[in-house]
Structure 1
Amino acid sequence: MKKLLKKYELFLLMIPAVFFGAGAFITGKIGILELSWDELTFLRFLIASAIILPLVLKKEHKNLKLKKNDAYIVILAGLFGMFGYHALFFMSLEYITAINSALLMATTPMVTSIIAAVVLGEYFGIKRIFAVFIAFFGVLLTITNGNLEVLKNLSFNIGDVIMFSAVLCMALYAVLSKKVAQKYSPSLILTYGYILTVVLLIPYMILKNPINVILNASLETWLSIIYMAVFASVLAQLLQQISLKYHGASKTMLFYQFVPIIVIGLSAIFLKEPFTKITAISTLFIMGGVYINSTIKRD
């Protein structure tokens, strides 16, 4: 049983992580209807910090202090992966749909693999190139609805640019986290990132004073924020950090190719949108790419 769990550990970590993360595209779209990107980011990580900090203080009280060089890396990771990614993510939802945002998110594994190969020297051979190509082809099928001629006239609006900037932040976060993942626990790295995000936004929140807007937000918006804090932040990112520590940045981030398909599925459930044949075929390509990449031993 232990051997079986070990064999499929990467899948057991990252499949729940991407499901929880994908839900944030739906709940984020709900939240942005009433609150701004900064308010959503602040509330999300304030709640997430309140959940994870007591756990870390109890479990890691002897290991809270970071070495000087590691502290710089953890701070940079927090700036890119927590503050940068989530701020840009919420900004993008003001301009584009949750599905389009998720589709752009699917480019994260390619960007991460390239950066990891350059910065960390991670293996990026023919097999990995093939895996990324297969998975991303599934994403292209989803974007174009099976008509690749659409790519000739593809244009990007400001929301697309903002979301791709978020993708760059997430890729940098994955690579930077990997550099310190062997020295510190996943929960400790996340906690520093959460607190950094909250601290950076406190002065802005004081100046803006959005207390009335926040208190008057609907129950649906508050449930969305709580979901993003508990499931998309604490649970999903803890699983992601554990995977980064033991399986590397490229293998871990390739699972985010699943995100568009999950978002489309959630949209079908909550918005009654159809699940097409093209979507089903796209899913097979994406799952195939993830599986091939997971079999690569060198990382």
Structure 2
Amino acid sequence: MPMTHSMRYALAGLLLATLCWSGNALVARAVVGEIPPFTLSFWRWCVALLLLLPFVAKPLWQHRAALRAAGWRLLVLAAIGIAGYNSLLYAAAQTTAAINITLVNTCLPLMTFIGAGLLLGEWPQPRAWWGMGVAALGLLVLISQGSWNRLAELAFNRGDLIMLLAVADWSLYSLLLRRWASHLLPIPPLALLGMLMLLGVPLILPFYLYELAQGAHFSLTPSNLAAIGYTALFASLLAYLAWNHAIRVLGAAKAALSNYLMPVFTALLGWLLLGETLQNYHWLGASLIVVGLLLGTQRASLRAKTG
């Protein structure tokens, strides 16, 4: 079946979201010791909300009936998608390496594939599983840098367990977006994101205040302000809008496969911004990931459960 314009836009959105979140992971590691995790999460969403509010204030009022109808579902989505995931990721980055975060993230497609079957009745066909397997192989090539001995040297710690919880949190957010699509569809994407932010920021506030009470502060340096600005504009506004749209069009299981592109984009960003060299294993791993992504996101690769 030929790919529609809507699917092309959704796939382009997945690429944009993954690119933005690859930068977010780099920022999270870069500001360790500079900005406490809940502080970064709180101010990220505050700035994003201030940027978005002028554009969504009127739509929020116009669609207040649909927002009331969605009710508690919006609060759940805000708790896990706005307050939960990024706070957990920033907390994990305090005590684990970027390569471990990437490795733990490989659990996301598997969690989402299984969750799509159990919660949505959307069981991926063999082609999608093959796509996930090929992409996972490409990811292992990147992580191992072409040497399988490197995998045996990896060590895991508390930060990795926190990241695993973050991955489960994001998988649930994606699945619930799909499951509650009929309740959320009347709400425009910008208004939906604005409402989730309005609900999510107060949920982060107690943890931010706790950090302040423990003496955790950050300096208003240009680099710290740039980190908050990046996470607010790119990792929050642009990435969330693109991801939410992709979930509506492609489904949670297909969208989750784009997670394998994060190490590819991280390597490209390192090449462009830091002057790091791209090795043969980068090209091999990236090629396998792209092939797996294309294989797993074909329109025929997902069927609804019957009976």
TM norm structure 2: 0.87
Deviation of residue 264 (structure 1)?
A: 2.1
* Distance in 2 between residues matched to 1:33 and 1:191, nearest whole Å: 30
Match of 1:220, SS?
Answer: helix
When residues 125 and 69 of structure 1 are mapped into structure 2, their CA distance, relative to the original with a 3 A threshold, is: farther
Is 1:266 matched up with 2:272?
no
Letter in 2 for 1:142: L
Which one-letter code corresponds to 1:26 in the other structure?
L
Deviations 1:214-266 (A, max 9, x none): 4x331111101101100110011101111111211111121121011111222
**Distance apart, 1:46 and its partner CA:** 0.5
Give the distance between the partners of 1:285 and 1:88, measured in 2 at CA: 29
**Residue 8 of structure 1 aligns to which amino acid in structure 2?**
R
Note closer, same or farther for the CA distance 1:246–1:163 as it changes in structure 2 (3 Å cut). same
Q: CA deviation at 1:171?
A: 0.3
Q: Quote the RMSD (CA, aligned, Å).
A: 2.4
Please name the residue that 1:276 is paired with. Answer: 279
The equivalences for 1:208-227 within 5 A come to: 208-209=211-212, 213-214=217-218, 216-227=219-230
The residue identity in structure 2 corresponding to 1:238 is L
Q: Secondary structure at the match of 1:275?
A: coil
Aligned ranges 1:153-172 → 2 under 5 Å: 154-172=154-172
Aligned match of 1:202 = 205
Q: How many percent of aligned residue pairs carry the same amino acid?
A: 24
Match runs of 1:1-299 below 5 Å: 5-6=5-6, 8-66=8-66, 70-151=70-151, 154-182=154-182, 183=185, 184-206=187-209, 208-209=211-212, 213-214=217-218, 216-297=219-300, 298-299=302-303
Q: 2:197 and 2:31 mapped to 1: Cα distance?
A: 19
Quick one: structure 1 residues 81 and 291, their matched pair in 2 at CA, closer, same or farther if it must change by over 3 Å?
same
- The 3 A distance-change label for structure 1 pair 63 and 151 is same
Contact 1:106–1:136 at 8 Å: present in 2 too?
yes
* The 10-residue stretch of structure 1 (4-13 or 175-184) with the greater mean CA deviation from structure 2: 4-13
* Contact 2:36/2:217 (<8 A) preserved: no
1:7-58, Cα deviation, whole Å (9 max, x unpaired): 5223222111211121111222223331100100000000111122332222
CA distance in 2, matches of 1:64, 1:254: 34
Partner of 2:122, secondary structure, is coil
Structure 1 residues 207 and 282: CA distance shift in structure 2, 3 A = closer
Q: Higher mean Cα deviation, 45-54 or 151-160?
A: 151-160
Deviation at 1:6, TM superposition (A): 4.1
Q: Which amino acid aligns with 1:58?
A: K
Match of 1:147, SS?
A: coil
Task: Name which of structure 1's ranges 23-32 and 56-65 shifts more when overlaid on structure 2.
Answer: 56-65
> Would you say the 8 A contact 2:91–2:162 is kept in 1?
yes
Alpha-carbon distance in structure 2 between the residues aligned to 1:106 and 1:70: 32
Instruction: Determine the C-alpha separation between the residues in 1 that align with 2:72 and 2:136.
Output: 33
Q: Is the 8 A contact 2:38 2:211 kept in 1?
A: no
Stretches of structure 2 that go unaligned for 5 or more consecutive residues are: none
Tell me which moved more, 101-110 or 83-92: 101-110
Q: 1:152 Cα shift?
A: 5.1
Letter in 2 for 1:213: H
Structure 1 residue ranges without an equivalent (≥5) = none
The TM-score normalised by the length of structure 1 is: 0.89
Contact preservation (8 Å) 1:99, 1:263: no
Contact 2:39–2:211 (CA under 8 A) maintained in structure 1: no
Which amino acid in the other structure matches residue 279 of structure 1? H
Query: What amino acid sits opposite 2:246 in the alignment?
Result: S
**1:70-129 CA distances to partner (integer Å, 9 max, x unpaired)?**
322222222122211111100111122334323432432221111111100113121111
Q: 1:7 to 1:234 in 2, by over 3 A?
A: closer
The answer as to whether partners of 1:106 and 1:260 remain within 8 angstroms in 2 is no
